[in-house]
């Protein structure tokens, strides 16, 4: 296949993002994995890029007793080794670490919240920012005591300051618990102050879906059931459960990846144009779309979903254990590490168009992408003379890696015959702009400090997501568990996933690279 490169029509200067407001970021779960792997490296990068307000500080909260000095040196160790931190240097770290403080406490102890309030007031008296950004880095479903404790200690108040809370997914386990959690959050915080993180929304390529769709008049007229045959959405990983066996036993791939990241990708691909690029206008359209996805009956779940679990295999020439051999995983676990679904959107634009979505761990390559397959041309003018097939165009929105977009179309093959050749117009962020844009957590942390909730999930979106996922989870509990493990690590997932598309002249794109 020939490749056509895409070039920008003007010279691009990438400006650094604007700094956030001054604030004190209070991290619950400060000695945890997320703080070490994502939050602190992202904050460090933002500080090095000059995007951090001089009045920005962190107060890490955790049960482990340690001093602020110990906290800093633990984080220094983590950040200096992290691949997420760009250009680690001792002098940059020295500047940055002076903003880090630690406070020991048990989130289940009522007195802790009064102590925290005293500490925050004392910091404020010594010149720290009055704005407070609480970051609950434990899963939102275990966050209830923290949210209630903050409310009881009146740490949710906004007079003379802003007070916001960031929550990590999963936001509940099903529709009922998701609603209950939302209620607990709303008893204490106003929805406008709640920032639910789905880090996929912070990815540059995910934001680009909206620009591609609504910034170009070329694609919008054909973006519907009249021209589109089906849409394929993939989030494949080569990693296993990475030491999170007990989390995965509880969660599984459907709750971990589909209930949020993949449904958000679907919503952005299929939603109607918002009236403006404003938080509520965008989120309103996403909610409408999510609500239009048809929930499945148990019979439909049996036919239109496939779950899988990896067995031992090879990835990049290395032997890797099966899921059931991972630490903290039961030897007869029924948790899925792979899920594939066929979903339908019941609205005028999409009636009858299947959306095939799949995600899995320990697959043959790491790739997240959305492939929009167009219908064949109505008449096969060149079918006999070309590569023997009627042309179908495919637009691939490459989320990661190799961030960019491909558009495939047919052109005349040089020569005296009317023969067609498929070419691929390729836009690559790296080749065009020299970089792929800031990592998702940097974008999202900065947005939360600037008070822009556009890229965060709203309460009704979460409930709309659970409305689709809960019937599948319930049906899976009733239906026989497939003979797990049913795919080899390093493969493209269970063979059964092919049957979702079989007989329709459609197929999943092979993941092998
Ligand atoms: C997280 C999931 O939300 O996303 C992980 O909990 C998964 O299981 C990760 O590995 C994938 O994120 P990314 O950005 O690497 O695609």
- Dump pLDDT digits (tens) for 450-493: 999 999 999 999 999 999 999 999 999 999 999 999 999 999 99
**Neighbour count for residue 377 (Cβ, 10 Å):** 14
Q: What is the predicted pLDDT for the residue at 111?
A: 93
Residue owning the nearest CA to atom 14 of ligand 1: 200
Encode burial over 147-172: b for 16+ CB neighbours within 10 A, e otherwise. bbbbbebebbeeeeebbbbbbbbbbb
pLDDT of 304 over the 80 cut: yes
Where b means 16+ CB within 10 Å and e means fewer, 250-285 reads ebbbbbbbbbbbbbbbbbbbbbeebeeeebeebbbb
Residue owning the nearest CA to atom 15 of ligand 1 = 237
Q: Given pLDDT bands bounded at 50, 70 and 90, which one contains residue 437?
A: confident
* Range with lowest mean pLDDT among 268-272, 297-301, 401-405: 401-405
Question: If pLDDT is split at 50, 70 and 90, which confidence band does 193 have?
Answer: very high
Å from CA of 198 to ligand 1 middle: 10
Catalytic residue among 199, 261, 319, 387: 261
**How far away, in angstroms, is 256 Cα from ligand 1 center?**
8
Q: Residue 2: is its pLDDT beyond 70?
A: no
Quickly state the pLDDT bin for 496 (edges 50, 70, 90).
Answer: very high
Convert the pLDDT of each residue in 74-126 to its tens digit: 999 999 998 888 888 999 999 999 999 999 999 999 899 999 999 999 999 99
Confirm or reject: Cβ of 256 under 6 Å from ligand 1.
yes
How are beta strands 318-320 and 310-311 bridged, if at all?
A: unpaired
Q: For the beta carbon of residue 301, count every other beta carbon within 10 angstroms.
A: 20
- Tokens matching residue 458: 């709203």
Contacts of 36 (CB under 8 A, 6+ apart): 74, 75, 78, 82
Confidence of residue 345 (pLDDT cuts 50, 70, 90): very high
Which letter does DSSP use for residue 203 in this model? S
Sign of CA dihedral 169, 163, 44, 47: positive
Model pLDDT, residue 260: 96
Centroid of ligand 1 to alpha carbon of 366 (angstroms): 11
Assign 322 to helix, strand or coil: coil
Output the CA torsion sign for 165, 265, 512, 503: positive
Distance separating alpha carbons of residues 113 and 23, to the nearest angstrom: 19
Q: What angle do CA 63, 164, 115 make, to 5 degrees?
A: 35
pLDDT digits (tens, 9 = 90+) for 202-245: 999 999 999 999 999 999 999 999 999 999 999 999 999 988 89
For residue 1, pLDDT beyond 70: no
> Crossing angle of helices 263-270/459-478, nearest 10°?
120
Instruction: Give just the sign of the alpha carbon dihedral 259, 265, 270, 276.
Output: positive
The candidate with the shortest Cα–Cα distance to 452, out of 278, 319, 321, is 278
Q: How far apart are CA 117 and CA 103, in angstroms?
A: 11
- Which band of pLDDT confidence, cut at 50, 70 and 90, is reported for residue 386? very low
pLDDT band at 418 (very low <50, low <70, confident <90, very high): confident
Residue whose CA lies nearest to ligand 1 atom number 13: 200
Percent of the chain topping pLDDT 90: 76
Q: Is the pLDDT of residue 296 over 50?
A: yes
Place of tokens 């970021």: 25
Nearest CA to ligand 1 atom 4: 257
Q: Is-contact 196 454, C-beta < 8 A?
A: no
- Average of per-residue pLDDT across 33-38: 90
Q: Is 44 exposed, middle or buried (0-12, 13-18, 19+ CB in 10 A)?
A: buried
What integer best gives the mean pLDDT of the chain? 92
Say how many Å lie between the CA of residue 239 and the centre of ligand 1. Answer: 10
186 carries an active-site annotation: no
**Cis peptide leading into 170, omega within 30 of 0?**
yes
Report the residue count for the chain: 513
Q: State mean pLDDT over 501-505.
A: 80
Average pLDDT over residues 36-45: 93
In the predicted model, what is the mean pLDDT of residues 130-147? Answer: 88
Q: Which helix (H) or strand (E) holds 210?
A: helix 204-214
Question: What is the Å distance from ligand 1's center to 235 Cα?
Answer: 9
Q: How far apart are CA 242 and CA 240, in angstroms?
A: 5
From the CB of 237, is ligand 1 less than 6 Å away? yes
Full DSSP string of 39-56: IHHHHHHHHHTT-S-TTE
**Residue to mutate, 257, 369, 440, ligand 1, most ligand atoms under 8 Å from C-beta:** 257
| Cα–Cα nearest to 267, from 133, 357, 360 | 357
Highest mean pLDDT out of 11-20, 391-400, 464-473? 464-473
Q: What is the mean pLDDT of residues 329-334?
A: 97
What is the pLDDT at residue 105? Answer: 92
User: Tokens in use for 205?
Assistant: 């390529």
Which pLDDT band holds residue 388 (cuts at 50, 70, 90)? low
Average pLDDT, stretch 394-418?
Answer: 91
pLDDT value at residue 384: 57
147: closest CA among 103, 194, 100? 194
Confidence tier at 8 by pLDDT (50, 70, 90):
low
Cα separation, 284 vs 265, in Å, equals: 15
pLDDT of 243: 86
Q: List the single range of 98-102, 169-173, 208-212, 288-292 with lowest mean pLDDT.
A: 169-173
User: Looking at beta carbons, which pairs linking 124-128 to residues 24 or more positions away fall under 8 Å?
Assistant: 128/24, 128/55, 128/57
Containing H/E element for 33?
Answer: helix 33-34
State percent of the chain over pLDDT 70: 96
Which residues lie closer than 8 Å to 107 by C-beta, 6 or more apart?
28, 61, 63, 145, 146, 149
What pTM did the predictor assign? Answer: 0.94
Handedness of CA 259, 261, 262, 268 (dihedral sign): positive
């Amino acid at each position: 296949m020939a490749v056509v490169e895409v070039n920008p029509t003007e010279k691009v200067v990438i400006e650094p993002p604007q700094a956030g407001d001054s604030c004190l970021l209070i991290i619950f779960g400060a000695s945890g994995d997320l703080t070490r792997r994502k939050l602190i490296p992202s904050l460090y990068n933002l500080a090095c890029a000059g995007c951090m307000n001089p009045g920005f500080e962190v107060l890490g909260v955790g049960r482990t007793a340690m001093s602020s000095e110990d906290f800093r040196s633990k984080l220094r160790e983590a950040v200096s080794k992290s691949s997420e931190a760009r250009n680690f240097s001792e002098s940059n770290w020295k500047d940055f670490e002076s903003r880090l403080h630690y406070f020991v406490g048990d989130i289940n102890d009522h007195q802790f919240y009064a102590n925290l309030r005293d500490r925050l007031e004392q910091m404020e008296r010594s010149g720290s920012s009055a704005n407070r950004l609480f970051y609950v880095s434990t899963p939102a479903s275990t966050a209830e005591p923290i949210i209630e404790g903050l409310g009881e200690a009146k740490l949710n108040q906004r007079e003379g300051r802003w007070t916001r809370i960031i929550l990590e997914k999963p936001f509940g386990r099903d529709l009922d618990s998701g609603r209950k959690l939302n209620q607990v959050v709303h008893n204490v915080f106003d929805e406008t102050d709640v920032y639910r993180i789905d880090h996929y929304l912070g990815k540059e390529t995910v934001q680009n879906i909206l620009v591609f769709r609504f910034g170009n008049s070329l694609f919008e007229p054909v973006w519907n059931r009249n021209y589109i045959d089906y849409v394929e959405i993939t989030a494949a990983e080569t990693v296993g459960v990475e030491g999170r066996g007990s989390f995965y036993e509880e969660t599984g791939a459907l709750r971990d990846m589909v209930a949020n990241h993949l449904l958000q990708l679907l919503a952005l691909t299929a939603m109607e144009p918002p009236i403006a690029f404003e938080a509520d206008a965008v989120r309103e359209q996403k909610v409408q779309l999510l609500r239009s996805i048809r929930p499945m009956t148990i019979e439909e779940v049996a036919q239109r979903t496939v779950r899988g679990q990896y067995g031992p295999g090879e990835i990049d020439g290395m032997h890797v254990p099966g899921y059931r051999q991972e630490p903290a995983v039961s030897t007869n676990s029924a948790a899925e590490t792979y899920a594939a679904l066929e979903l339908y959107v019941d609205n005028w634009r999409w009636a009858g168009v299947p959306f095939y979505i799949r995600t899995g761990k320990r697959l043959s390559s790491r790739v997240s992408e959305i492939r929009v397959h167009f219908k064949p041309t109505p008449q096969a003018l060149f079918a006999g003379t070309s590569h023997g097939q009627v042309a179908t165009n495919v637009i691939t929105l490459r989320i990661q890696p190799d961030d960019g977009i491909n558009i495939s179309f047919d052109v005349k093959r040089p020569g005296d015959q009317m023969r067609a050749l498929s070419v691929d117009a390729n836009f690559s962020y790296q080749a065009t702009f020299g970089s792929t844009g800031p990592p998702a957590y940097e974008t999202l942390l900065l947005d939360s400090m600037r008070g822009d909730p556009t890229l965060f999930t709203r309460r009704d979106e979460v409930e709309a997501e659970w409305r689709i996922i809960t019937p599948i989870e319930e049906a899976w509990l009733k239906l026989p568990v497939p003979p797990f493990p049913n795919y080899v690590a390093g493969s493209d997932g269970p063979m059964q996933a092919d049957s979702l598309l079989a007989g329709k002249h459609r197929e999943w794109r092979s993941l092998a690279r």
